[in-house]
Amino acid sequence: MTDHYCVFGNPIGHSKSPLIHTAFARQTDQDIQYTARLVPHDGFALAVHSFIKAGGRGANITVPFKEEAFRLVPYRTPRAELAGAVNTLVVTGSGIVGDNTDGAGLLHDITLNLGCPVDGKHVLLLGAGGAARGVIGPLLDAQPEMLVIANRTVSKAQALARHFARLGKVSSSAYSELAGQSFDIIINATSASLGGEMPPLPAGLFSPHSLAYEMMYGRGDTPFITFGKGQGAARFADGIGMLVEQAAEAFFIWRGVRPQSAPVINMLRNADV
């Protein structure tokens, strides 16, 4: 019998998750169907419960529902508890379990796929929403020299820095307060790129040999990547690698088999999808 999975989000038309999980299923000979579901901003809980009632076995969660998913589920994994955000739902006999595979996906992409070590580096994380929450713990576990969280609403960045302070050297900042600093890795975890915008960053943030990493993805460069190129960043990456790697982690959780991510990353890079 075919098992059903999906991704919930708003917007969702850009999502490549159905392509990724379909490729994983073919690669590992798993009988699943995976779809993308647009959810009204006030209808997330209803959508999840309706999907599970109809036999859904699990789901991914994307913008803007990761923190709402955390509040919704009765059970959470330790990494979801640490993040305060959920991007993966697993349906079990006891109820819905929430997990967070974003951090594992990001670190795998940056350190292994891109060959960019995090340890000893100055890292800037832009944003303080669900996408940012999911990666702070794994980033600190990688032992950067410092991690700065910058956000338009500074109080949210401050709250995250306090929450994760026991794990490593982490601080908060307003965007304007970043002037005069430089970073080896700058990660855009805001959703601004979905609207063709970017955070109001000062010039001069990229150090030599730096990486500009955009969590979002789409055709062409995002405003953040364009900014990085204009500011002298040495390397650029969008979120395709992270997307595939976090999906591979979710697939393993659901099916008990770990797919190969590299062929799927290459497929997405080379396809006009």
Task: Read off the pLDDT of residues 249-262 as tens digits, 9 standing for 90 and up.
Answer: 999 999 999 999 99
Shared fold status for 3-100+241-270 and 103-238: yes
Average pLDDT, the chain: 95
Task: Read off the pLDDT of residues 130-141 as tens digits, 9 standing for 90 and up.
Answer: 889 899 999 999
Asked if pLDDT for residue 61 goes beyond 60, the answer is yes
Please tell me the pTM assigned to this model. Answer: 0.91
Asked if pLDDT for residue 42 goes beyond 90, the answer is yes
- Beta bridge partners, 46, equal none
Residue numbers in the known binding site are 15-17, 62, 87, 102, 127-131, 151-156, 215, 217, 239, 246
Per-residue burial over 106-136, b if 16 or more Cβ lie within 10 Å, else e, is bbbbbeebeebebeebbbbbbbbbbbbbbbb
Residue numbers in the known binding site for shikimate are 15-17, 62, 87, 102, 217, 246
Contact 181, 170 (CB under 8 A): no
Q: Which residues are catalytic?
A: 66
Domain boundaries of the chain, sorted by first residue: 3-100+241-270, 103-238
DSSP summary character for residue 145: S
DSSP summary character for residue 109: I
Residue numbers in the known binding site for NADP(+) are 127-131, 151-156, 215, 239
CATH top-level class for 3-100+241-270?
alpha beta
Residue 230 CB burial class (10 angstroms; 0-12, 13-18, ≥19): exposed
Provide mean pLDDT across the span 85-109. 96
Q: Place 191 in a pLDDT band, splitting at 50, 70 and 90.
A: confident
Choose which CATH entry (2.60.120.10, 3.40.50.720, 3.50.50.60, 3.90.1150.10) describes domain 103-238: 3.40.50.720
